[in-house]
């Protein structure tokens, strides 16, 4: 009888681990699909303009002490990209003034993920090349310390 209970508990834990892995992979794939669809729309809209920012590519650099899980990272990227969509369609050679404004707007801005965890973000580096604006963003989990 005890063997059946222990076996069921082990099977249940393995099952939940696999479901968690599938959920994480699904979240990553849905994010990639959304990014690819946006990129297709943008590329077709600006296909004849070589000096225009057509896509944004975000890289989240998290704090090694408090790493960000994949689901939260994808959600942060989606929210930040929504805030920065105004840069798409801008001339690459005139991005300097926009980059300074964007950096000031996102300095220590707080975003919240679906689990209620808050993250402070700020832009570390922006690089514009071949119609792609690459942005490296520092994200730190906000801790409630009295």
**Among all chains, which residue has been given the structure tokens 């077709």?**
44
What pTM does this model have? 0.65
Give the model's pLDDT for residue 33: 92
Contact 137, 124 (CB under 8 A): yes
Give the model's pLDDT for residue 146: 46
Give the model's pLDDT for residue 136: 92
Give the model's pLDDT for residue 15: 92
Paired tokens of 110: 């707080």
**Among all chains, which residue has been given the structure tokens 């959304």?**
34
Paired tokens of 44: 């077709």
Residue ranges, the chain, pLDDT below 50: 146
Give the model's pLDDT for residue 46: 66
Give the model's pLDDT for residue 95: 72
Which whole-number Å values give the CA distances from 50 to 38, 62, 91, in the listed order? 18, 33, 9
């Amino acid at each position: 009888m005890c063997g059946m209970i222990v076996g069921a508990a082990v099977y249940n834990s393995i099952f939940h681990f696999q479901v968690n892995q599938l959920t994480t992979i699904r979240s990553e794939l849905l994010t990639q699909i959304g990014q690819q669809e946006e990129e297709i729309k943008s590329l077709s809209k600006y296909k004849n303009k070589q000096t225009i920012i057509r896509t944004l590519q975000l890289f989240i650099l998290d704090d090694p002490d408090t790493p960000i899980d994949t689901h939260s990272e994808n959600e942060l990227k989606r929210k930040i990209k929504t805030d920065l969509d105004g840069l798409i369609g801008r001339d690459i050679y005139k991005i300097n003034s926009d980059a300074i404004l964007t950096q000031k707007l996102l300095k220590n801005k707080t975003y919240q993920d679906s689990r209620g965890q808050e993250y402070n973000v700020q832009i570390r580096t922006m690089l514009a090349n071949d119609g792609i604006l690459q942005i490296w963003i520092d994200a730190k989990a906000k801790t409630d310390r009295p």
